[in-house]
């Protein structure tokens, strides 16, 4: 139950600052949805818990190309061609179906907005699937907009997609911050665009040696706390 007052999402004022936010495993618990879908898939006769674990591992946190993942699943479960044909849609639909709105994330977005930040989603993926996720999680009403790599023709970590998001949001990139869980795409991309990043560690060690994340948080609400503290301390990019 969300009880915080909704500050609204009107046109940005000159004082507003852009908060770029990743979607998968930042605003939404994609990993949890994959886990729940995998257990559902593995509950069919002849399948077991090891199959569910295999599915989660094969997904590689969303990094495995979907068509390739479908082929791998078809092979492992010896699916007939007819069953394989609908698997991509089942994979995508199953993930969305298992997403649950997170009131703590919504409250954190509203807390950021109340402090003058304009949340704007910057995500790699297909337009149809990412927009389904945004709506399923109730986030489409909580952010000012989104840029999705497929629609943009650009992908994180390309700094050009960060510039495009700022243009779409109508806010300057040089006062923006980024929150995301991908060291390379989110924090590396932001860094290349001159934007400070807050990395969601998700219990993983920082994987890059080229640079260290400026700030680290263990959840999106925690990242907003970190952001508001940094802003209050007058830290600028």
Which residue is associated with the tokens 């869980």?
A: 181
| Binding window for Mg ion (CB under 5 A); candidates: 3-11, 17-25, 143-151, 202-210 | 17-25
Which residue is associated with the tokens 């969601």?
A: 200
Please select the residue that binds Mg ion; options are 16, 22, 51, 59, rule is CB under 5 A.
22
* Sequence-distant (≥ 6) Cβ neighbours of residue 43 within 8 angstroms: none
Is the Cβ of residue 22 or residue 51 nearer to Mg ion in the bound state? 22
- Interface size with Mg ion, residues (CB under 5 A): 5
Please select the residue that binds Mg ion; options are 16, 24, 51, 158, rule is CB under 5 A.
24
Token couple for 93: 């639909």
Is the Cβ of residue 42 or residue 191 nearer to Mg ion in the bound state? 191
Decide if residue 129 touches Mg ion (CB under 5 A): no
Decide if residue 29 touches Mg ion (CB under 5 A): no
Decide if residue 25 touches Mg ion (CB under 5 A): yes
CB count within 10 Å of CB 47 equals 16
Spatial strand order in the sheet of 17-21: 146-148, 117-123, 17-21, 177-180, 197-200, 215-217
Distance CA 59, CA 57 (A): 5
- Nearest distance from C-beta of residue 189 to Mg ion, angstroms: 11
Kindly identify the residues of this chain, within the stretch 179-198, that bind Mg ion according to CB under 5 A.
181-182
Backbone φ and ψ for 123, nearest 5 degrees, come out as -140, 145
For binding to Mg ion (CB under 5 A), which residues are involved? 22, 24-25, 181-182
């Amino acid at each position: 139950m969300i009880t915080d007052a909704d500050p609204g999402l009107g046109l940005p004022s000159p004082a507003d600052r852009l908060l770029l936010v990743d979607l998968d495993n930042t605003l939404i618990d994609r990993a949890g949805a994959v886990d729940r879908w995998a257990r559902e898939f593995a509950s069919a006769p002849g399948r077991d818990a090891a199959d569910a674990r295999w599915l989660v591992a094969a997904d590689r946190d969303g990094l495995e190309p979907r068509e390739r993942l479908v082929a791998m699943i078809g092979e492992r479960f010896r699916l007939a061609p007819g069953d394989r044909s609908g698997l991509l849609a089942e994979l995508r639909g199953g993930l969305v179906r298992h997403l649950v709105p997170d009131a703590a994330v919504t409250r954190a977005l509203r807390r950021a907005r109340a402090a003058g930040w304009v949340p704007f989603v910057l995500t790699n993926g297909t337009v149809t699937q990412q927009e389904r996720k945004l709506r399923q999680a109730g986030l489409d009403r909580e952010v000012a907009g989104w840029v999705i790599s497929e629609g943009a023709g650009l992908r994180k970590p390309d700094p050009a997609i960060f510039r495009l998001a700022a243009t779409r949001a109508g806010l300057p990139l040089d006062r923006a911050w980024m929150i995301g869980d991908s060291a390379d795409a989110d924090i590396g991309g932001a860094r290349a665009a001159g934007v400070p990043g807050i990395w969601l560690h998700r219990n993983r060690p920082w994987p890059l040696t080229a640079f260290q994340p400026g700030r680290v948080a263990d959840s999106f609400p925690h990242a907003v706390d970190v952001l508001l503290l940094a802003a209050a301390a007058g830290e600028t990019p």
